[in-house]
Amino acid sequence: MKATLQHQGQTFAVDLSKPIDLSIPLTNTNENPIAWYLDKPVIEPVRMGDWIGKVSEGQSSTNFNNIAFNPHAHGTHTECLGHITRDFYSINQQLKSFFFTAELITLRPYVHDDDHVITVLQVRAALEDKSPEAVVIRTLPNDTGKLHRNYSHTNPPYLDAAAAEFLRKSGVKHLLIDLPSVDKEKDDGLLLAHKAFWNVTDVNKVNADARFDATITEMVFVPDTVPDGSYLLNLQIAPFENDASPSKPVLYAID
């Protein structure tokens, strides 16, 4: 279904029948990606005495599962600045719009000692003076192992704080990346890229010019078949009152 949309004073023609889903589904199997030293999610039927909430067990007319997971560790998720602040801020309260202009860029992290870092020079060159509302970063190599990798204790690539600051100053409100974090896995709690992107200078008392309406989405997956370029992004979250929510970012090619 083709549609013409008006957004931020611009008119876009998109085919809504051709969504490009960037989310990684959450499962209770070893195929589920994992980060931050946790085990896989738990999805299991409710048990009340001898009763089991599973149709195949013959005792229930419905499947009735409990689900236990961590949004930061178990798949695609979107977070607000409440992820790093002393005071509570909810992604459900901070993200109130869901369609954005987006630019997809592909970068091979720069090797520095034992680290692989996405630099400000790489990001600036890839954007070519464009100023979209959202930027999606696909990293190389882009193997399908990202769909089920255990990132714990592997020192994955990360975003240099200067690159996050550049994106903020360029007006990018929504950053999406195919890594478990924009920051280094073990950085002694500095979280420099998170702070630079949200413009948080003090986590104990958030500064007035911090970016409450900006989001970071981590652990997306962008297939190789999707070319770099401009898209319309639909950023969908579940309505959790939490600093982060599992999310479903969807791109639409702009005709």
For residue range 134-186, what is the model confidence (pLDDT) as tens digits? 999 999 999 999 999 999 999 999 999 999 999 999 999 999 999 999 999 99
H/E stretch holding 116: strand 115-118
| Position 95 in a domain | yes
Range of the domain at 102: 2-27+71-253
C-alpha to C-alpha distances, 18 to 1, 14, 21, 74, 213, nearest whole angstrom: 8, 9, 9, 26, 28
| Position 58 in a domain | no
- Euclidean distance between the first and the last CA atom of the chain, given in angstroms as a whole number: 13
Confidence category of residue 92, pLDDT binned at 50, 70, 90? very high
Burial class (CB in 10 A: 0-12, 13-18, 19+), 127: middle
| Position 34 in a domain | no
Confidence category of residue 5, pLDDT binned at 50, 70, 90? confident
With a cut of 90, say whether residue 1 has pLDDT above it: no
Here the tokens at position 179 are 């890594």
Share of the chain above pLDDT 70, in %: 100
Torsion over CA: 52, 57, 58, 64 (sign): positive
| Position 230 in a domain | yes
Give helix 161-169 / helix 120-127 axis angle, nearest 10°.
30
Confidence category of residue 12, pLDDT binned at 50, 70, 90? confident
| Position 88 in a domain | yes
| Position 33 in a domain | no
Q: What is the mean pLDDT of residues 111-127?
A: 97
Task: Please tell me whether the overall predicted TM-score, pTM, comes out greater than 0.95 for this model.
Answer: yes
| Position 140 in a domain | yes
CATH code where residue 96 lies = 3.50.30.50
Number of domains in the chain: 1
Chain centroid to CA 92: how far?
A: 15
| Position 57 in a domain | no
